[in-house]
Structure 1
């Protein structure tokens, strides 16, 4: 995701593939897709401080918890969240079985490509779309549907599969942390079952380390006698904003020492991380590169970065300037 350039250091490759950990001091050049500067130095210096046994900031491996938002932090999110693109495509694919959608909003807007009407439907309309396209199937069937979509759908600007639009520099951060004894988690507002389809093969993060928004699932025994879990059209948990620290506590059980986000929806996660004792790292990806990706922040309808940016500047958290700090954005096409 953001074809994938081979990682240059064997230690990083080992970490990404789950083959073992290599001490930070054994690797010559971490984060090769990062330009030298304050952001890169802040990351590498932090890892050095907390992994060097015998110094004041040393953190035991079991407590080296790193959390990352997904949309806009690990992969792109413009012009719309990728899970929304999936849901809209599902409306079009399912429309022949739902003729009533031709006259019923917000489905009518989707089928006619009426962006204004879709926007006017607001959050309620989006929830209707997600419910209609995600519910009523088993979790296994949903995962297959997502996998099939990822294999065929293409981003409207880059004409690449969505799961290739991950950020190469952030892949290197994930691998670098794991090479130094960190456990990496996704903590995102995206649907947990949607992200689990690709998180392990894309980021090296197994499904049990993905925390996300979730809908209600129901256990039942089918006519064939086999048990299954079926997705229902009910929201169980929203893992965004103040929900992120709640999700971390509920599903991880340890306060992170390292957290990366990109929007106001990540602010509380960064605040929660910063509130712990000892060395802490809080980072924001600032989308400043309209040529290679997108440039947006305070007034964006997707990934708005306003209050969190002000707090990051005031509290001297690390703000990554995509245009200045990253040598490359996406991996080379496969």
Structure 2
């Protein structure tokens, strides 16, 4: 009987270890949503190079700056930028307070659901909508409005909250970089206060490391109540060449790693790669029509044309979403 019990304990121990092996393997792999391939290999090799003390490409922790675009890089951006969807909803919510909008573009197009007329307004029209719907209140009030929308709004295709439409492989990459001494920033064309409303909870990136398009603002003292009031004017458009300007002004260091997905990120990638020493530039290429979307050169949102050409000629890392990601979203099955 004694030997039987001893053998039984041994069998149970072996069974327990076997059950733990998959979990242990997953814990040991910091990038489980990435398939083995050129992008994963390049990322891991770069991180190893810059963190190996005494190595020829070693970078001190203070200089390990990584910058990421948001729309299309950290979360989806179709059928249109999520913040734009928020702004369109805000136009409709605020319309009773602005009766003139019914005859004033681009607001008239929004209220009449006229997509063609809205598209004809171009980027200037979109910025006008953002300025109108993101201002006229304090920063705290706007943050509350944005968080309320994020908590209730649902993506038109998936039915999920927009904050669940984030890319699992990129969440893993952010964590992997931080575990290796990197400081991670968002540098996006999105309005900075809107992104700060969710970035820390969703990405683990605190507000002071979120850089984006900014509105005019003023300090206000109303009978001892202090606030920062948001003004209906674009102070800085953090897109295209605006991104390196913001990086220089806010971070004060040139990044050694940059990730984007569109031509709006081209100058940020160029600025990163123009520095000395070890450098990494990456593009998320949307090639997965089944699990996400497939688009690049002709897309109205997240157009990837000139940046794709330069990535190919310069040897930047282009992530093929369909081929190189095991999972797209956190809610996807393995």
Is the shorter-chain TM-score for this pair beyond 0.5, marking a shared fold? yes
Distance, in Å, in 2 between the alignment partners of 1:9 and 1:167 is 21
Q: Deviations over 1:117-137 (max 9, x none)?
A: 111122232222222211110
CA-CA distance at 1:226 after TM superposition = 1.0
1:65-117 deviation digits (Å, cap 9, x = unpaired)? 00000000000111111111010000111122223323332222112211011
Aligned to 1:275: 274
Alpha-carbon separation, structure 2, partners of 1:28 and 1:278: 29
CA distance in structure 2 between the aligned counterparts of 1:297 and 1:124, rounded to whole angstroms: 22
Question: Counterparts of 2:107 and 2:190 in 1: how far apart (Å)?
Answer: 21
RMSD across aligned positions (CA): 1.7
Task: Give the match for residue 289 of structure 1.
Answer: 288
Q: TM-score, normalised by structure 1?
A: 0.90
Instruction: Provide the C-alpha distance between the structure 1 equivalents of 2:161 and 2:217, rounded to a whole number of angstroms.
Output: 29
Q: Distance in 2 between matches of 1:129 and 1:187?
A: 21
* Counterpart in the other structure of 1:332: 331
2:177 & 2:219 partners in 1: Cα distance?
37
1:86 equivalent in structure 2: 86
Alignment: residue pair count: 311
**Aligned counterparts of 2:163 and 2:243: Cα–Cα separation in 1:** 23
SS of the aligned residue for 1:117 comes to: helix
Moved more, 143-152 or 95-104: 95-104
Shift of residue 317, structure 1, vs aligned partner: 0.5
Higher helix share: 2
Q: 1:282 & 1:234 partners in 2: Cα distance?
A: 32
Alignment of 1:44-193 (within 5 A): 44-193=44-193
Residues 127 and 234 of structure 2 are in contact (CA less than 8 Å); yes or no, is this contact kept in structure 1?
no
SS of 1:91's partner is: helix
- Give the structure 1 partner of residue 37 of structure 2: 37
Gaps of 5+ in 1: 1-7, 13-26
1:9 Cα offset (Å): 8.2
Hey, what's the Cα distance between the residues in 1 that align with 2:104 and 2:278? Answer: 53
Pairwise CA distance, 1:278:
1.0
Q: Who is 2:248 aligned against?
A: 249
Paired with 1:188 and 1:34, the residues of 2 have a C-alpha distance of: 24
Q: Secondary structure at the match of 1:301?
A: coil
> Which residue of 2 is the match for residue 310 of structure 1?
309
Do 2:191 and 2:213's aligned partners in 1 also have CA atoms closer than 8 Å? Answer: yes
Q: Deviations over 1:203-232 (max 9, x none)?
A: 00000001111011111112x421101100
**Cα distance per residue 1:244-272 (max 9 Å; x no partner):** 11111100011111110000111111111
Structure 2 segments unaligned to the other structure (5+ residues): 1-21
- Name the counterpart of 1:259: 258
Task: Please state how far the C-alpha of 1:197 moved relative to its aligned partner.
Answer: 0.7
Q: Greater relative contact order: 1 or 2 (C-alpha under 8 angstroms, separation 6 or more)?
A: 1
Q: Is the 8 A contact 2:39 2:319 kept in 1?
A: yes
